[in-house]
A and B are shown apart, each in its own frame.
Chain A
Amino acid sequence: MTEQKPEQRPEPEDRGTGPDTSASPDPSAAGPDTPAAAPSAAAPSRRAVLGWGGAGLALGAAAAGGAAVAFGGSPDTVPVAAAGGSVPFHGAHQAGIASAVQDRLHFAAFDVKTKDRAELVELLKEWTEAARLMTAGLPVGEGGFGGLPQAPPDDTGEALGLKASRLTLTVGFGPGLFARDRFGLEGSRPAALVDLEQFPGDNLDPARSGGDLCVQACADDPQVAVHAIRQLARIGFGRVAVRWSQLGFGKTSSTTPDEQTPRNMMGFKDGTRNIAGTDAAALDKHVWAGAGDGSAWMAGGSYLVARRIRMNIETWDRTSLQEQEDIFGRDKGEGAPVGKSKERDEPFLKAMKPEAHVRLSHPDSNAGATLLRRGYSFTDGTDGLGRLDAGLFFLAYQRDVRTGFVPIQRNLARHDVLNEYIQHVGSAVFAVPPGVRDKGDWWGRTLFA
């Protein structure tokens, strides 16, 4: 591809290098009613340009025009910020769901330690404030240096000088939060937030499962994502404690069909038929909870299922190409469904083996169940036996877990031949509340206020 020469221009979303950053953008500038408000198009870094591969055209437009590329015109969809730029934090929906999928992930699940509802609310407000700053590329509190010499700085500092990198922070509430005699929320638990059943083949590690709260941090720069979780964990000490966390180094799905479909650790294109972040009708039908769905406070929110899926990398690599392609139901090079020539050709399910992964997980095999997938590949080094501890950290958003993940996973757990090469080792489910609308709003207001 042709490398684009990035346009040189001031970048207000550069992280302030101190508490006196005067060029800070007002993070509240983009209100919920101006979702197309141009996220400032910062010059993409060289790595980001290369990483985008086939997206050269879109990037070229962004760089040349100096403006954001927004796909579609639906008021509820989030425009695509150029790499390095910032994604609006405020909106009807939380960013990080329909938003264009960034390259990197740091996901953390928390246990709530405080028993005091007011303290929990205060934490959510403090988190919201910090998120507002960080997603705009700014340090938290009074910054990373220049404060009282006797006190540790408010911001830990490793993201100083880095761009906003399309950081999105997305918060979810786990079932435990709604438990009886805890925060008085037992009446507010949405029916759509079910405890996941034990699916056949599950080998779940409690230390990698569950959680009262979650934060999904996605960014194009891993340091920006890690920084964000670190600040929130630090702000939370005493009120919440990190239960588990997961780094993801490569996106496996995109919500931008114009981009090249990323490949998973098995080498196959993943998420070809994912819901596009611009497809407002599909998002409303399959992803966003409606006001009439049973829990009014969740209107505009969504439900997240997170699964840590370990892959038996070494045995997969010894599997013949034919078998690999049969298992998925797509060819490895192009990603075309069996019998078709192009990746995006409509799959003809009956041409596939009955237990092919694509066939089993297709909406037509699951009464229309459709998920917005936003997973990431992970590699946490190697296990004690020298095997790559790698796989897919599966993240899927849906309108109702009962009609989304559950039927699909029942089908897959029972029949998928891929199960020979994968194992689900971590699991969690969260109600992801609607977006933070403006500067006075905070995460979870509709639930707690």
Chain B
Amino acid sequence: MRPARLTVVAAASLVAALTAVTGCAEKSGSGGDGAIKVAASDTACDVSKTEFPAGKVQIDVENKGAKVTELYVLFPDDRIVTERENIGPGTKASITAEIKAGDYEIVCKPGMKGDGLRTQVKATGQGGVEKRSPEADAAVAAYRQYVVAQSEETLPKAQVFADAVKAGDVEAAKKAYAPSRIGWERTEPVAESFGDIDPKVDVREDGLEPGQEWTGWHRLEKALWADNTIGDAEKKLADTLIADLTDWQKKVGQAEITPTSMANGAKELLDEVATGKVTGEEERYSHTDLVDFKANVEGAEKAYALLKPIAAKNDPELSKQLDTQFAALNTLLDKYRADKTGYDFTAYDKVGEPERKELSDGVNALAEPLSKLAAAVAK
């Protein structure tokens, strides 16, 4: 977590472009014949019209399939305009949303899994959404998928951790602690954009505000490593952690992501390493800082890799430098890694001062050029 939260993407910008009014439209006045009809089945998603006027739009969906389905309206970068989950077989649902002029996709997800069945649609009229290059949209869409996948992969791992805590099994909980944090650490700047979640799940004791109850991973970290005991309070906090992470997982697809915020997010991940991990402050009881370190670097590298087609075109020298420095830092981290595929890293209290200096130098060497990535993709 970061002590002073710099929200790249303000929490308020959720559903910023449009005020989605989701709800039943049985008494729909504005809908009627103007409504877009979606006939969903397990194999098809037929949309009645692919062009409609911008403004308040109603979508009526009927699930004719055997599986529970979901309906989404998405921006070209996969950000969610509006959605409806849990549409059971044989049921109908209506969604209304304020949609600005621009290109969108209407998506059915039979079985509530996968990329879904997609139809391109267009809202016509004035005041469109700002257009980006296709490669920028592709980068953002891919990054969004990554971010969503990270949250989805985190939940079961966090559950293993929470279950161990609830079972009072200190050793098992200690083992499950660091792995449960990897997905979060990889995508932390996006997670932090939902201002209320980060202080609940990733706050350290020194970061608490007056009157704030200490919850989340680090509270349990202290219980496990410093106090070496699990009480009723900790067991309850394990459930709270899962609830808060579930909240994160639900929201994360709606994060406003731009190529610039991706680049800045990558830089912020390195800032996290420089201020929290290299110093050993983040995981002061468990000393699993290098796991977070690696996850931060992975998350930054993912964002960079997706932006690279743009960056390499606009600033080839910078791109070359970033390739070199990512590789160098990963090589350095591998020295502390039991095997190249796992996340079993040397405990940070066993890493000496000269080695910490070397890691710090590696972080600086990468973070300095990385601070120029946003300008390179914004060109």
Which residues from chain A sit less than 8 Å from chain B, CB to CB?
111, 113, 148, 150-152, 207, 234, 237-239, 241
A151 adjacent to B364 (CB under 8 Å): no
A234 adjacent to B368 (CB under 8 Å): yes
Among B263, B364, B378, max chain A CB count under 10 A is at B364
Instruction: Say yes or no for B375: interface residue by CB 8 A criterion.
Output: yes
Nearest 5 CB-CB pairs, A to B?
A: A151-B375, A238-B365, A237-B368, A241-B361, A150-B374
Name the residue of chain A whose CB is nearest to the CB of B321. A238
B369 adjacent to A238 (CB under 8 Å): yes
Which residues of B343-379 have CB atoms within 8 Å of chain A's CB atoms?
353, 357, 361, 364-369, 371-372, 374-375, 378
B368 adjacent to A151 (CB under 8 Å): no
Instruction: Say yes or no for B151: interface residue by CB 8 A criterion.
Output: no
Min distance, Cβ B300 to any Cβ of chain A, angstroms = 15
Q: Mark B183-212, 1 if CB is under 8 A from A, else 0.
A: 000000000000000000000000000000
Q: Find B364's partner among A152, A207, A238 (CB 8 Å cutoff).
A: A238
Instruction: Say yes or no for B249: interface residue by CB 8 A criterion.
Output: no
Total contacts A-B at CB 8 Å: 34
Q: How far is the CA of A150 from the CA of B372 in the complex (A)?
A: 8
A241 adjacent to B378 (CB under 8 Å): no
Q: Find B365's partner among A113, A148, A152, A207 (CB 8 Å cutoff).
A: A113
Q: Find A150's partner among B361, B369, B378 (CB 8 Å cutoff).
A: B378
A150 adjacent to B364 (CB under 8 Å): no
A148 adjacent to B378 (CB under 8 Å): yes
Min distance, Cβ A61 to any Cβ of chain B, angstroms = 46
Residues of B within 8 A of A151 (CB): 371-372, 374-375
B372 adjacent to A152 (CB under 8 Å): yes
Instruction: Say yes or no for B86: interface residue by CB 8 A criterion.
Output: no
A150 adjacent to B375 (CB under 8 Å): yes
Report 21 cross-chain contacts, Cβ distance below 8 Å, ordered by A residue.
A111-B361, A148-B375, A150-B260, A150-B263, A150-B374, A150-B375, A151-B371, A151-B374, A151-B375, A152-B371, A152-B372, A237-B364, A237-B367, A237-B368, A238-B325, A238-B364, A238-B366, A239-B365, A241-B357, A241-B361, A241-B365
Beyond A150-B374, A234-B368, A238-B321, is A113–B260 a contact (Cβ under 8 Å)?
no
Q: How far is the CA of A22 from the CA of B152 in the complex (A)?
A: 56
Residues of A within 8 A of B365 (CB): 113, 237-239, 241
Q: Mark B125-150, 1 if CB is under 8 A from A, else 0.
A: 00000000000000000000000000
Min distance, Cβ B116 to any Cβ of chain A, angstroms = 33
Min distance, Cβ B377 to any Cβ of chain A, angstroms = 8
Q: How far is the CA of A113 from the CA of B321 in the complex (A)?
A: 14
Residues of A within 8 A of B361 (CB): 111, 113, 241
Residues of B within 8 A of A234 (CB): 368
Name the residue of chain B whose CB is nearest to the CB of A234. B368
Name the residue of chain B whose CB is nearest to the CB of A238. B365
Residues of A within 8 A of B368 (CB): 234, 237-238
Q: How far is the CA of A111 from the CA of B361 in the complex (A)?
A: 10
Min distance, Cβ B152 to any Cβ of chain A, angstroms = 31
Residues of B within 8 A of A238 (CB): 321, 325, 364-366, 368-369
Residues of A within 8 A of B325 (CB): 238
Q: How far is the CA of A419 from the CA of B330 in the complex (A)?
A: 47
Q: How far is the CA of A408 from the CA of B260 in the complex (A)?
A: 59
Q: How far is the CA of A362 from the CA of B368 in the complex (A)?
A: 48
Q: How far is the CA of A152 from the CA of B367 in the complex (A)?
A: 12
Min distance, Cβ A231 to any Cβ of chain B, angstroms = 12
Residues of B within 8 A of A207 (CB): 353
Which residues of B262-310 have CB atoms within 8 Å of chain A's CB atoms?
263
Given A111-B361, A238-B365, 8 more A-B residue pairs with CB atoms under 8 Å apart are: A150-B260, A151-B374, A234-B368, A237-B365, A238-B321, A238-B368, A241-B361, A241-B365
Min distance, Cβ A154 to any Cβ of chain B, angstroms = 10
Residues of A within 8 A of B353 (CB): 207
Min distance, Cβ A155 to any Cβ of chain B, angstroms = 14
Residues of B within 8 A of A111 (CB): 361
Min distance, Cβ B322 to any Cβ of chain A, angstroms = 10
Min distance, Cβ A165 to any Cβ of chain B, angstroms = 27
Residues of B within 8 A of A148 (CB): 375, 378
Residues of A within 8 A of B367 (CB): 237
Q: How far is the CA of A237 from the CA of B364 in the complex (A)?
A: 6
Min distance, Cβ A113 to any Cβ of chain B, angstroms = 6
Q: How far is the CA of A238 from the CA of B366 in the complex (A)?
A: 7
Min distance, Cβ B363 to any Cβ of chain A, angstroms = 10
Q: Mark B323-351, 1 if CB is under 8 A from A, else 0.
A: 00100000000000000000000000000
Min distance, Cβ B361 to any Cβ of chain A, angstroms = 4
Beyond A150-B375, A152-B371, is A241–B364 a contact (Cβ under 8 Å)?
yes
Name the residue of chain A whose CB is nearest to the CB of B259. A150
Q: How far is the CA of A238 from the CA of B321 in the complex (A)?
A: 9
Q: How far is the CA of A241 from the CA of B354 in the complex (A)?
A: 13
Residues of A within 8 A of B375 (CB): 148, 150-151
Residues of B within 8 A of A241 (CB): 357, 361, 364-365
Name the residue of chain B whose CB is nearest to the CB of A237. B368
Q: How far is the CA of A239 from the CA of B325 in the complex (A)?
A: 10
Residues of B within 8 A of A113 (CB): 361, 365
Residues of A within 8 A of B369 (CB): 238
Q: How far is the CA of A238 from the CA of B365 in the complex (A)?
A: 4
Min distance, Cβ A33 to any Cβ of chain B, angstroms = 37
Q: How far is the CA of A239 from the CA of B368 in the complex (A)?
A: 11
Among A111, A234, A241, max chain B CB count under 10 A is at A241
Min distance, Cβ B216 to any Cβ of chain A, angstroms = 31
Q: How far is the CA of A239 from the CA of B378 in the complex (A)?
A: 26
Residues of A within 8 A of B321 (CB): 238
Q: How far is the CA of A148 from the CA of B365 in the complex (A)?
A: 22
Q: How far is the CA of A356 from the CA of B372 in the complex (A)?
A: 57
Q: How far is the CA of A150 from the CA of B258 in the complex (A)?
A: 13
Q: How far is the CA of A207 from the CA of B372 in the complex (A)?
A: 31
Min distance, Cβ A177 to any Cβ of chain B, angstroms = 17
Min distance, Cβ A96 to any Cβ of chain B, angstroms = 26
Q: How far is the CA of A239 from the CA of B353 in the complex (A)?
A: 21
Name the residue of chain B whose CB is nearest to the CB of A233. B364
Q: How far is the CA of A195 from the CA of B165 in the complex (A)?
A: 58
Q: How far is the CA of A207 from the CA of B364 in the complex (A)?
A: 18
Name the residue of chain A whose CB is nearest to the CB of B367. A237
Min distance, Cβ B362 to any Cβ of chain A, angstroms = 9
Q: How far is the CA of A241 from the CA of B263 in the complex (A)?
A: 24
Q: How far is the CA of A61 from the CA of B138 in the complex (A)?
A: 69
Name the residue of chain A whose CB is nearest to the CB of B378. A150
Name the residue of chain A whose CB is nearest to the CB of B260. A150
Residues of B within 8 A of A150 (CB): 260, 263, 374-375, 378
